[in-house]
Amino acid sequence: MGIMRLGYAHVRVTDMTEAKNHYASTMGLYETLTDTSPEGNERVFYKGWDEWDHHSVVLEEGGVGVVKYGWKVEHEADIEDVENKAKAFGLTVERMSKGENPEIGDGIRFITPSEHVFEVYHHATSIGTEVGTHNPEAFPRHLVGVGVPALDHSLITTEDVGTMEKMLQDVFGFYATERVQTSLEDDHECVGTWMTSNNQIHQLAVIGGPQGKLHHFAFRLDEWYSVGRAADLMTMDDVPIDIGPTRHGITRGQTVYFFDPSGNRNEVFSGGYLAFPDRPTNVWTVDQLGKGIFYHDRELNENFTTVLT
């Protein structure tokens, strides 16, 4: 199968105490490990209540923005397959050893055309969901804050969306569920792409902007009510809300965007539709981008396109 899903997002934060309060107390993630990076920075590892691998979010003190992404493959042999495809695409690939990332096995690492660091691996230590797998309850009885179940997706920026889209297609086997183009004609410039390898509406979105930047990373929620409740809790905790609750035209997802204490943008996301490789890609033109991003307001919040970390 190749790339199965987004395994982890590793991001920088300016103040670990504030960050832990946000991600643990407001978002309701479970801390699984605290350690020190090779550079001497404090790191904290988290998972959502419905995730079974050791972690899906890594916070590292010392700045803002994304450090790297981890992508999990279905089979050990898939690592070599992705490595060969990455080399054929012209990327420089290095091997990473078990233990370089706590509780993550051997794999590969490379820098994408967007100047983001991607790691690909198969093994992650499984510590189980908070409800287990033997006659499990629907959710944990004592959720904290929003109580997000899992990491969902991320959006990054690059100066050349088309090249990044092709890399994700050729190397990861991704396909585009939604695109923003300068025209409806297939050969016109792509300025945004929403991509996946499975039935999830998107695992990674890419839009035009500076190299190597993070727009947001998102957590999955079950339904529209949960998105509204999350916004209420953010107000209680004085979390800066960027926009929402609202709906996307692109992906049809329901959303709230907000910022962690360091200024990294987060999202809670629900809804969307099931994706399939043979489903025709939804194409939006630039003049309808406001409606595509914020379906109700039908216009873009200026901060939404300019605030990056």
Catalytic residue numbers, as ranges: 153, 202, 216, 248, 257, 267
For residue 71, give the 3-state DSSP assignment. strand
One-letter identity of residue 230: A
Burial environment of residue 261 by CB neighbours within 10 A (0 to 12, 13 to 18, 19 or more)? buried
Instruction: Report yes or no: 241 and 193 within 8 Å, Cβ to Cβ.
Output: no
Q: Is 79 helix (H, G, I), strand (E, B) or coil?
A: helix
Query: In angstroms, what CA-CA distances link 263 with 13, 14, 240, 268, 306?
Result: 8, 9, 9, 16, 13
DSSP state of 21: I
User: Which class for 183: exposed (0-12), middle (13-18), buried (19 or more C-beta within 10 A)?
Assistant: exposed
